[in-house]
Amino acid sequence: MRDIGVVGCGLMGAGIAEVIARAGRSFVVVESDDFAVSAGRDRLERSLAKAEKRGLVADAACILNRIVIESDLEALHDRSFVVEAIAEDEGAKVELFGRLDAVVSSPTAILASNTSSIPIMKLGVATSRPARVLGVHFFNPVPVLELVELVPSLLTDPAVHQEVRTFVVDVLGKRPIDCQDPAGFVVNALLIPYLLSAVRMLESGFATAEDIDTGMVAGCAHPQGPLALSDLIGLDTVLAVADSLYQEFKEPTHAAPPLLARMVEAGLLGRKSGRGFYHYA
C-alpha cells in the first residue's frame, strides 16, 4: 500500500492527505477542477505551517512536496489504495465509485470511503470489486484525532480489512475500531441524535445556544457543546448524516429539525462558512 490516492482535498480530504504525507508516504490527490486544486494546496500549506510552528513537524515544505494534486481522475490509474473523501452525498459517492472502478487498473487495488454514514455495501456494489471496498472513516481534525472507523460490508474480503487495519495502525499511527455496515456506523449512530436534540432544544426556545453548550461542557464534562460541535463538523454534513440515518432506520430521533434544514439552505454551515449557530471571524 505505497501507491496511494485520495479523491477530494476539502476539509477531510486535506486532513487525510496530511496524515499520510506526515507518515512519509508520497501520493496523488485528485480534485474536481483547477480552482479546487489551488484551494486544496492552500489548505494543506496553512495546516502544515501551523504544525511546523507548533513543533509537530520538522519540515512542512518537505512534507508538502510528497503530495501531488491533480484535477484528472485518470491520475489514479496505477494506485493500489484509493481513499474517497468527497462531500457526504450518496449519489455523488456511488457515481464516483463506478468511475474509480473503471479508472483504477489493478484488480487487487483497494477502494475506501471516508463516508461518515452511507452504508458501504451501496458503494461496493457500484463496482466490479465489492470484496475490495470498505469504509475508512477518519474524524475531524484528522491530524489531531486518532480514531478511525473501519467498516467492511458483507462482501468485503477479511484480508482487505486486515491489510487496511495494519496500514492505519502501523503507518498512520491511528486507533481503529471495527464497525458493522448499518448507516452511521458507531460514532455517528450515537452522536447525531444527540446533536439533533440540541438543535430541537434551541428551536423550541428552551435555552440559548450558549447555555445549551455550557450545560454539556460544565455539567457533563464534554470538551465541546453540541451546537459548537455541529458548527465544527459542518451543518450540511450533520444534515446529510441525519438524512442517511433516517432513511435506514425511520426513527424520529434521526429526523432533521426544520431549523437545521433552513440553515443549510441559507448557506449557514458553521465554521467553514463563517456562521452557523455561532459567528466566526
Q: What angle do CA 89, 135, 236 make, to 5 degrees?
A: 30
Alpha carbon separation from 11 to 32, 33, 248 (Å, rounded): 14, 16, 26
Q: Which residues pair with 177 in a beta bridge?
A: 149
Three-state SS letters, the chain: CCCEEEECCCHHHHHHHHHHHHCCCCEEEECCCHHHHHHHHHHHHHHHHHHHHCCCCCCHHHHHCCEEEECCHHHHCCCCEEEECCCCCHHHHHHHHHHHHHHCCCCCCEEEECCCCCCHHHHHCCCCCHHHEEEEEECCCCCCCCEEEEEECCCCCHHHHHHHHHHHHHHCCCEEEECCCCCCCCHHHHHHHHHHHHHHHHHCCCCCHHHHHHHHHHHHCCCCCHHHHHHHHCHHHHHHHHHHHHHHHCCHHHCCCHHHHHHHHCCCCEHHHCECCCECC
For the annotated catalytic residues, the residue numbers are: 116, 137, 149, 188
Inter-axis angle of helices 235-249 and 187-203, to 10 degrees?
110
Q: Which residues pair with 6 in a beta bridge?
A: 29, 83
